[in-house]
Amino acid sequence: MTTGQISDPARGGTAGAAPTCHRADRSAERALQAVAFDAIGARYSEAFPAKSGQLAATRRLLTELRPGEPVLEIGCGTGDPTTRQLAEAGLRVTAIDLSDGMLSLARQALPGAADYHRMDLYDLGTVRAETAWGLPALGPAGAGGFAAATAFFSLILLPQREIQLALWRIRTLLRPGGLLALGMVEADLDDYPMRFLGQEIRISGFLREELAELLRQAGFTVEELNGRPYAPACSTLPPEEQLFLHCRRTA
């Protein structure tokens, strides 16, 4: 895990612009991830039917939000349960996912619950939010525009280095003191290939102490961290330790 100041090439950071070949390779890898989740579709909920930890983390978030406040849901999937919870609480939800298939399921199940958009979460807070996805409110122009964000098991689909940058970019979209409800799997993995419901995906994770330090470096205070053992309903997946973190953007 890297330490020290986070440098963001997409926002003109000290590391400079990413090479064109790297961007092309990365776009191809992310496109394959999206295709995989298009194919998985509703079976994702069948593999993870019990979501008590995610439900509890969202309820914790809702205790600090008022109806009408804007919330960004990062990796909405089928919309269940988080889009539903946020919408029922009267919040203005912007939901993004890279999978057209998942977005279609969310729109069918919960029409009007959120403004749904297809977008790579890695481009949040950067100029590509507008130039590649037509969403200026999710780029630099939208800095400080959200009261809170949720990201339940969406960042695990990025390599570790990109998770670090994505957290920093998410922070820029939150108002000072804004909240982040984060769900991750506790594992020391970096871009690890695995078969999931017949599709190959790549996942990353951190041990909880490393994750807390990563969030601190990205400009968050971790106010709560809860670990929950979880056994997926799909017998081909091993048991896992899920981490739920309630974080606040520092000034």
Instruction: For each of the domains in the chain, give its residue range(s) and CATH number, in order of start.
Output: 17-249 (3.40.50.150)
Residue 18 clears pLDDT 50, i.e. is over it: no
More confident residue, 239 or 188: 188
pLDDT digits (tens, 9 = 90+) for 195-230: 877 777 788 999 999 999 999 999 999 999 999 987
Instruction: Please choose, from the candidates 223, 194, 181, 225, the residue with its C-alpha nearest in 3D space to the C-alpha of residue 207.
Output: 225
Provide the β-strand partners of residue 210: none
CB 7 within 8 A of CB 13: yes
Of 56-65, 140-149, 152-161, 232-241, the range with the lowest mean pLDDT is: 232-241
pLDDT digits (tens, 9 = 90+) for 76-111: 999 999 999 999 999 999 999 999 998 999 999 999
Averaged pLDDT of the chain: 86
Sign of CA dihedral 133, 137, 138, 140: positive
Residue 60 CA from chain centroid, whole number:
18
CB 81 within 8 A of CB 50: no
CA 187 to CA 220: how far, in whole Å? 21
Q: At what angle do helices 208-217 and 160-173 cross, to 10 degrees?
A: 50
- What phi, psi does 83 have (nearest 5°)? -55, -45
Structure tokens given for 71: 């919330």
> Which pLDDT band holds residue 233 (cuts at 50, 70, 90)?
low
Task: Write out the DSSP string of 176-189.
Answer: EEEEEEEEEEB--E
Tell me what the mean pLDDT of segment 102-126 comes to. 96
**pTM (two decimals):** 0.85
Q: Exposed (0-12), middle (13-18) or buried (19+): which is 55, by Cβ within 10 Å?
A: middle
Instruction: Please choose, from the candidates 149, 138, 122, the residue with its C-alpha nearest in 3D space to the C-alpha of residue 249.
Output: 149
Q: How many CA atoms does the CB half-sphere of 106 hold within 13 Å?
A: 32
Provide the β-strand partners of residue 183: 152, 244
Residue 217 CA from chain centroid, whole number:
17
pLDDT, residue 26, reads 66
CA 126 to CA 241: how far, in whole Å? 32
More confident residue, 47 or 241: 241
pLDDT, residue 199, reads 77
CA 178 to CA 130: how far, in whole Å? 23
